[in-house]
Amino acid sequence: MHDEDTTNGPARLLDAAVRIVRARPYGSLATTDADGRPRVRIVQHLAVEDDATVWFGTSPRTRKAAELTARPEVCYSVLRDDGKASAYAALYARAEVIADPAELRARWIDELAPFFPAGPAGGDIVLVRLAPHRVEVLDFGAGIHPDPFGLAAAITERGPGGWA
């Protein structure tokens, strides 16, 4: 957390990040390709857990899946701009690609069927779990912005003892 931000503790920042990400179904996923270049694409998350872990599905044959497997450090960001109070959350995370059939069945939602018509057991979908270790939040409506007004995001990081 930034030294100049004394009012936004880790729990408040984590709660704000979860609220922002849950408020929108899509976010931007930044990966790194084999040449070290950043790649950003829009993904739809399936679930956002209370600890800010994010889940989404993809085909195991995509560049995204290959990049996540080879270089699992990513950033997932969501912007909420409702015209009244803009906010964003950026989750710096380690990605894990999961092909476990039980997990696929448990996390399957019907909205995935047009993209994966064979369903969760069809072999063309894997899950991606993003376990964040750093969270940045800027939320003007909630007053989460270090002074001076909005020049930097508030940050919390997960260490061996939890979020600090």
Q: Where are the domains of the chain?
A: 10-159
First CA to last CA distance, the chain = 7
Residue 100 buriedness (CB in 10 A; 0-12 / 13-18 / 19+) = exposed
pTM of the model: 0.87
Superfamily of domain 10-159: Electron Transport, Fmn-binding Protein; Chain A (2.30.110.10)
pLDDT tens track for 133-163: 999 999 988 888 766 665 677 887 888 888 8
- Residue 3 confidence (pLDDT): 39
